[in-house]
Structure 1
Amino acid sequence: MPAKDGGYFSRLVRKLTSDVQDLDADDLSKRSEAGGAQRACDCRSGQEVIVLGRLRSVELCPNTQAVTLEAELFDGTDGVTLVWLGRRRIPGIEPGRTIKARGRMADRDGKKVLYNPYYELQTST
């Protein structure tokens, strides 16, 4: 019997021959879609969006104007910078954590940004 596209054998071969980062990105992308979020690569400036992904980095950015906490969220398709103005630390916002964020997409120097997003910490599965 011929194997269906995406059958068990095809998935096994792909897992054995693919780069770990590619597999992780695919898993994140699938989890994002299953969680009802939009793919970050499809989000455009000015849209109300919901993105779900893993935080790659979190850093405090002291500036002469205002302190900000910035986190890079990656959903397997693209990165989105989350910026909380006037915050030095937010419990649970740490690298490796999976979160769902909601807000209006903006553009800063050609990169996607959500300012002061609403967020939900996700449990590990």
Structure 2
Amino acid sequence: MAPRANPSGARAGVLRRVLQRVTATNEDLEDDELRQSSVDAGAVTIADSALRTRVNLQGRIEVLTLNPKGTNRWLEAELSDGTGTVHLIWMGRRRIPGLRAGRRLSVEGLISADDGRRVIYNPRYQLLAE
């Protein structure tokens, strides 16, 4: 006799996912959407990216900062994909047309660590449709 499927177990899984969506905050739902769109586009998630490797990431700019310290100026952005954040630093740049907080972006570069945070220096980038 073949083993029977457990329909109550399947229903419990569906019910658990529905309850998670209902009780999730807007920020949690946005993070899930960002993570899923990154995975769908074939990008690696920030949480899964290994240090000192070339990565292809996709996410949303959360913070955009111009660092005018001394004569070394650079543009810094914090990219989030719902699983974590990475700091993007364009050395020698004061601005990049179209780049602003809230904009979706695809980047490629070598991910490293600086003072405990993930960083990509001078990444290749592509602005994504809004």
| TM superposition score normalised by structure 1 | 0.89
Q: Which residue does 2:51 correspond to in 1?
A: 45
Q: Report the AA paired with residue 42 of structure 2.
A: G
> For residues 31-70 of structure 1, what are the structure 2 equivalents within 5 Å?
31-70=37-76
How far apart, CA to CA, are the structure 2 residues paired with 1:62 and 1:21?
Answer: 31
> For residues 91-110 of structure 1, what are the structure 2 equivalents within 5 Å?
91-110=97-116
Aligned length: 123
Residue identity over aligned pairs, in percent, reads: 37
What's the CA shift for 1:14? 3.0
> For residues 1-125 of structure 1, what are the structure 2 equivalents within 5 Å?
4=11, 7=14, 11-124=17-130
Unmatched 5+ stretches in structure 1: none
RMSD: 1.7
Per the alignment, do residues 6 and 82 of structure 1 end up closer, same or farther by CA in structure 2, a change over 3 Å counting? farther
Q: Report the AA paired with residue 90 of structure 2.
A: W
Larger radius of gyration: 2
Unmatched 5+ stretches in structure 2: 1-6
Q: Secondary structure at the match of 2:19?
A: helix
Q: Deviations over 1:6-30 (max 9, x none)?
A: 64x6554333211111111111100
Per the alignment, do residues 67 and 16 of structure 1 end up closer, same or farther by CA in structure 2, a change over 3 Å counting? same
Q: Deviations over 1:49-101 (max 9, x none)?
A: 01100000101001225100000000000100000000000011100000000
How far apart, CA to CA, are the structure 1 residues paired with 2:120 and 2:42?
Answer: 18
How far apart, CA to CA, are the structure 2 residues paired with 1:58 and 1:39?
Answer: 20
